[in-house]
Amino acid sequence: MGVIAKGGLEELLMECYKRLYSHFGPQKWWPGDTLMEICVGAILTQNTNWNNVSKAIENLKKAAILDCSALYHLPTEELAALIRPAGYFNVKARRLKNFINFVWENYGGSLDKMFQTDCGPLRQALLSVKGIGPETADSIMLYGGNKPTFVVDAYTMRCLRRHDIVDEYCQYEDARRLFMENIPQDVTLYNEYHALFVALGKHYCRSRKPGCASCPLQGL
DNA sequence: TGCCAGGCCGGGT
DNA sequence: ACCCGGCATGGC
């Protein structure tokens, strides 16, 4: 359900990857030095331009509170003020707090310990945190924990639909399974692939209509 | 200058 | 099970 393209799915998806990689080169994601920075960035970038997110992260760095204990003890209102440039600062402050409380209570505030959890159980646990949906959970696991889970985003979905690989009914989990069941479950591959979809989305195909000239995926 | 960015939740159907 | 409004700043 959702997938249109029949047969040769592995070749198709790998050809897509090859073209994106040749066109944009390695992306070397995630932009972030520490595990906490990656997790916080994943939440802050929800429906938000990364440029705004980096301003918010800078504020947290300057205030020296980009670690679990500091974030745990910081009042939500003060957190909201610091992350203001990232937009939706009130909801995102609560979402960050929910995540921090989750790490604090279940893993003693240690992200290293959190990432020792197996992929499947960790994904379920993260999804139970209010404010962490499938894309955020998969981003945290792939880019923070080096877990082989595929991150689907709006760009990915648009691209799959535009090239008639899936239909309009394809949901997040359908698209994720499409990749994970048809191309190798390799962390480096998944890391680059998602980042390349974002690069594609930024440069091309911003509209909902097909037919952007010089798109590297023309005729896929 | 309006539109949109690397979503998610809660309430209503 | 979907559908939709709300959340908000900064860059082009």
Say yes or no: A40 and A125 in one domain: yes
The predicted pLDDT at position A209 comes to: 44
Give the bases of strand C that a protein CB approaches within 7 Å. Answer: 2, 6-11
Say yes or no: A134 and A159 in one domain: no
Strand C neighbors by CB, 7 A: A 47-49, 51-52, 55, 84-85, 87-92, 169, 171
CA separation for the pair A146, A189 (Å, rounded): 11
Which among A127, A72, A141 has a CA at the least distance from the CA of A104?
A72
Nucleotide whose C1' lies closest to the alpha carbon of residue A49: B5
Say yes or no: A120 and A188 in one domain: no
Q: Could you tell me if residue A108 is inside a domain?
A: yes
The number of domains in chain A is 2
Q: Could you tell me if residue A213 is inside a domain?
A: no
Distance from CA(A102) to C1'(B13), angstroms, rounded: 33
Token pair of A42, please?
A: 């994943």
Task: Specify the CATH number for the domain of residue A94.
Answer: 1.10.340.30
The predicted pLDDT at position A4 comes to: 84
The predicted pLDDT at position A84 comes to: 98
Give the torsion through C-alpha atoms of A105, A52, A135, A171, to 10 deg: 150
Print the domain residue range for A158: 9-28+150-203
pTM of the model: 0.96
The predicted pLDDT at position A205 comes to: 57
Q: Which residue is nearest to nucleotide C10 (CA to C1')?
A: A52
Token pair of A173, please?
A: 């989990």
Helix A172-180 vs helix A154-162: crossing angle, to nearest 10:
80
Q: Could you tell me if residue A118 is inside a domain?
A: yes
Q: Could you tell me if residue A1 is inside a domain?
A: no
Distance from CA(A167) to C1'(B6), angstroms, rounded: 22
Which among A137, A156, A143, A149 has a CA at the least distance from the CA of A199?
A156
The predicted pLDDT at position A31 comes to: 86
One digit per residue, pLDDT tens: chain A, 220 residues?
Answer: 678 876 699 999 999 999 999 999 999 999 899 999 999 999 999 999 999 999 999 999 999 999 999 999 999 999 999 999 999 999 999 999 999 999 999 999 999 999 999 999 999 999 999 999 999 999 999 999 999 999 999 999 999 999 999 999 999 999 999 999 999 999 999 999 999 999 999 886 554 344 566 789 988 8
Say yes or no: A49 and A134 in one domain: yes
Say yes or no: A114 and A183 in one domain: no
Give the bases of strand B that a protein CB approaches within 7 Å. Answer: 4-10
Say yes or no: A171 and A197 in one domain: yes
Cβ of A140 < 7 Å from strand B? no
Domain boundary among A144, A168, A184: A144
Cβ of A87 < 7 Å from strand B? yes
